[in-house]
A and B are shown apart, each in its own frame.
Chain A
């Protein structure tokens, strides 16, 4: 069938490209844009999720913005975002750099590290909940006093546990990104540094870290925007408790919408989530410098 290529008319790229984008566009419009518009519209209504929808102007927004639960949920979300970022990033960079090396056993270790990534959040949460149970958990079972704390029953501890479990789950993913980033760094840079007498630690701070700038931005964007939508893990682990110590914005939205039957205020929170997420993503792009495509390899 050698004639096929010969006879097919050569189309100009600009007539083909829009068609190539169509499937992605349809999915994006169908599952992102339309629901977004719907949620925005719902935030100006009163609806219990079961009966008829009544337009009610700004009533839902007023109830959300005057509710003391909102600043609290925003604060918890912010804390989760910052603390989990600060905890995950250094560990992910170190692990990623370690795994990018070519020494023995690293491929095997890499596979072991990635196991948490393959588990579902709900399964992880259930497992940790069982392990941390103050009466039937690991600490009580092995009679280790330090481990038999009321892990999920005290506000500070529960918050710490949430951060730990989230990090346990997502550090492998970010290590993978950093591993790729480190492997992209030209060997010649390290060779030059070695000739100049730089040790391993100096090499890490002067070459690896600066070269990972865009990888850090990508990974941070994923972490920060991702932490806005943490839901499943926290829902199963603590249900936002004890009290409202771990009630992040996404959980607050769910509880108002589906447990308290207040779809209007829940939609308003959803809109706030979208706006905060967009603002953060833009901000992080800005931090990356004006020209994100600029070369890091000038002079190499």
Chain B
């Protein structure tokens, strides 16, 4: 029977569609021929490193396949919770540890890996010991630390500083003095992706520490009554509002999202002079900023001390690592694949090298030589020193707290930066959810 032209065209048009459908159909966890599933964040340059590690593992293990799916940061935080609650979690759950991991543990949704780490002590021994803190809930390990250590760093655009003729700030008063200088030249003093809210939070994390020391937030984590009303906390909240009132942040910051990297673009295009951001920002500036990073335009420093503050200037906050947990709902075969991935897939030499090329410090021990040989050696050494020498390495607040308290926190932070609530109101609203 002769095929008519229309049939052929129909077939040709249908093929890609059916191929695409087949590709979509297997995204349901646990149903794709027994392979393990793995969800993580998209966004370059990190996404390609994650995908590369999975590809390498899949090639080396033809019988143990991992199928990966990527999500945008803020969308992922919601998606993963919903999926876990619905019993549709991927085999390998990517996360930030801390308070969110605790909710998974309390619901019995993730595997206890304590005994596995005892049996495979070689896996544990090759990672930064400090990375296990946020993976541990009530003395048991529920996640495999992975990827990189990410302290929060104060970045600045050297060219803009030269142009205005000023020096990087050495104290909070310096920061406040720099603000009018930059504004006078039409340059925003600080870039900020305020719609994402956790970006604003980084400012409070440092101000709390520099003014009152790490004890202030520690009391909050421990659920102490009225911990947010600590006078040092109120001072910190008032200081950030002073900076907002002085036009310290870029115009329209509350409608800029960090997911789109628009805040990064403001810094490398010279429209903003400084930016407080995670260590991962270096890789983004390097990838997107053209000549900015190679040309020596990017400066970086730790958050400066605040006059009269109690905090140690070496203290830092951020993500001690990223974390991989195993869903307790996964099949025995999937769990085995996941554990094999932990031993032979996570932070292998190729992945370590890629992280270093991107300007991040992987949490594997003994990489000093690789770090020193990298084109980003100075920055990497800087990050490595912060991570290894910090007197206190605090975990990001929204990850350390329970999701319920974190949402109230982020909500009120947005209002604080909007100047629609006072520091006292902020403290009252947060005291109401302390320990929840």
Contact = CB atoms under 8 A, between A and B. Distances in A.
- B and A form one assembly: yes
Interface in B184-223: 194-195
B420 interface: yes
Contact of B404 (A135, A241, A261): A261
A178 B409 CA distance: 47
Given A50-B85, A242-B418, A261-B81, A134 B403 contact: no
Contacts of A295: none
A49 B106 contact: no
A261 B403 contact: yes
Contacts of A49: 81-82, 85
A131 to B, nearest CB: 12
B413 to A, nearest CB: 10
Contacts of A35: none
Contact of A135 (B82, B104, B251): B251
Interface string B262-286: 1001100001000000000000000
B163 interface: no
Given A49-B82, A136-B265, A258-B81, A243 B420 contact: yes
A232 interface: no
Nearest to A130: B260
Interface residues of B, number: 36
Contacts of B195: 152, 238-239, 241-242
Contacts of B271: 135
B300 to A, nearest CB: 22
Interface string A18-51: 0000000000000000000000000000001111
A259 B255 contact: no
Given A259-B403, A261-B404, A241 B255 contact: yes
A268 interface: no
A243 B414 contact: yes
Contacts of B85: 48-50
Contact of A134 (B81, B255, B406): B255
Contacts of A243: 254, 414-415, 418, 420
B255 A238 contact: yes
Interface majority SS (helix, strand, loop, mixed), chain A: loop
B223 to A, nearest CB: 17
A107 interface: no
Contacts of B415: 243-244
Interface in A253-299: 255-256, 258-262
B252 A153 contact: yes
B411 A244 contact: yes
Contacts of B368: none
B408 interface: yes
A49 B78 CA distance: 11
Given A133-B262, A258-B82, A242 B254 contact: yes
In this complex, the member of B254, B255, B266 whose beta carbon has the largest number of chain A beta carbons within 10 angstroms is: B255
22 contacts: A49-B81, A49-B85, A50-B85, A51-B107, A133-B255, A133-B262, A134-B251, A150-B251, A152-B252, A241-B254, A241-B414, A241-B418, A242-B194, A242-B195, A243-B420, A258-B78, A258-B81, A260-B404, A260-B408, A261-B81, A261-B403, A262-B404
Top 6 closest pairs, chain A to chain B, by CB: A134-B252, A51-B107, A152-B255, A260-B407, A242-B254, A243-B418
Interface of B: 77-78, 81-82, 84-85, 103-104, 106-109, 194-195, 250-256, 262, 265-266, 271, 402-404, 406-408, 411, 414-415, 418, 420
